[in-house]
Structure 1
Amino acid sequence: MRERICSKVSCDREAVATLTFDYEGRQAALGPLGLGNDPHAHDLCALHADRLQVPQGWTVLRHAAFAPR
């Protein structure tokens, strides 16, 4: 299986998490690396997963492995 790379521009780190959005519910979900076949999901490296910020008024649902330190 090919290594998955972070979706952030100019980042070549290995992806460790997948980010998805619920625009209607104003929520972002950050969890373990997904299957990789969802065009609306974004893979993130550990650095970018840790730095995740969402618009004001949004909620972030984080899997326990990706809870802020």
Structure 2
Amino acid sequence: MRERLCSKVACAREAVSTLTYDYEDQMAAVGPLGGDDDPHAHDLCAIHTDRLSVPRGWVVVRHETISNR
């Protein structure tokens, strides 16, 4: 499987999450790395996932996976 890299300019780290925007509802959703390489989604590395910021008034929804360790 091809490694997916972070979508941020000049970042060469491996992507760990996928970010999508809903402009109508002013919402950003961040979740586990999507299964497909969707041209409307943005793959992010761990650092850029943690540093994510959105415009004032927007809501960020974070979907976490629960591991059964």
User: Same fold, TM exceeding 0.5?
Assistant: yes
- Higher CA-based Rg: 2
1:27 aligns with 2:44: no
CA distance in 2, matches of 1:54, 1:45: 17
Query: 1:52-67 alignment to 2 at 5 Å?
Result: 52-65=52-65
Q: Which has the higher helix share?
A: 1
Query: What runs of 5+ residues in structure 1 fail to find an aligned partner?
Result: none
Q: Where in structure 1 do 4 or more consecutive aligned residues deviate above 6 Å?
A: none
Q: CA deviation at 1:38?
A: 1.6
After TM superposition, the score normalised by the length of structure 1 is: 0.89
Indicate the RMSD between aligned Cα atoms, in angstroms. Answer: 1.0
CA distance in 2, matches of 1:40, 1:58: 18
Q: How many residues align?
A: 65
Overall identity of the aligned pairs, in %: 69
Q: CA deviation at 1:14?
A: 0.2
What per-residue deviation string (whole Å, max 9, x for no partner) do you get for residues 26-56 of structure 1? 0000000002332110000000000000000
After TM superposition, the score normalised by the length of structure 2 is: 0.89
